[in-house]
Amino acid sequence: KQWYHRRVREEIQANINEIELLLRQSKQQVVQALLQGELVKQKELLKTVSRPEKKQIVKSVSKTKRISNYSWDENLKYVKIYVRDIKKAEETIEEENIEANFEERSFSVILRNVGVQGINYSLSIGNLNKDISPETCKVVTTKTGVNVLLSKVKTSMWTNLKLQKEEKKDDIPKMDKDADPSAGLMNLMKHMYATGDDEMKRTIAKSMYEAQNKQATGEASKLPDMGDMGTGFDNL
């Protein structure tokens, strides 16, 4: 929400600046009157989205405990982080005691005064597998903790919560200079298919499917056996 309000304020301020520039350049009274009226409207609008008065966060004297025990799940649109067993069912976490910051590839959450002992907790995860939409992410309290809902920018399955290290060059099949070039290319394609995401698999399977059709009509030379990729296009 804070990110959204900041963007709206910036857009309105940009409108005000441009109108004031046009007013200085305009020589027609009718045009000046119209611009002046619009300027008043934009300034009034800016007041409605002015920075909200921040609620005072009640801080406890206890040290902050870092949350390292969590689980996660996903669907095509969202990733959900589950934090459990940090409070009892009858205990509540007030909204003003939840501090969350979401970025494109990371997020952090601080929970203050949790439970009768007033314990502070923090959860910070960076290097996310793919981009998230900060303005639509949120933290929801549960009976024993919180759930962090991350909104994906693109509809896809991540498989891993964090971005994995790039493949080592040794993991990529090497092209044998003395071998059949088409066979070496097929081995590389198979490797990319086996290690790629759904979009990569779909692209490769479609390419192989079209190549087979050309081969059947005599438009292309015979291709090596494609293995599982031969039927992959129908299943993706």
Q: What is the pLDDT along the chain (236 residues), one digit of tens a residue?
A: 556 677 788 888 888 888 888 888 888 888 888 888 888 888 888 888 765 555 555 554 567 899 999 999 999 999 999 999 999 888 889 989 999 999 999 999 999 999 888 899 999 999 999 999 999 999 999 999 999 999 999 999 998 999 887 544 445 555 555 655 556 566 666 766 676 667 767 777 777 777 667 666 665 455 455 555 555 444 44
Dihedrals phi, psi of 92, to nearest 5 degrees: -125, 155
Let me know: does 87 contact 115? Beta carbons within 8 Å. Answer: yes
Q: Return d(Cα 111, Cα 166) in angstroms, integer.
A: 34
Q: Return d(Cα 131, Cα 190) in angstroms, integer.
A: 27
Local structure of 107: helix, strand or coil:
strand
Q: Residue 70: which of 56, 57, 86, 54 has the closest Cα? A: 86
pLDDT at 181: 56
What's the burial of 128, exposed, middle or buried (CB within 10 Å: 0-12/13-18/19+)? Answer: buried
Local structure of 71: helix, strand or coil:
strand
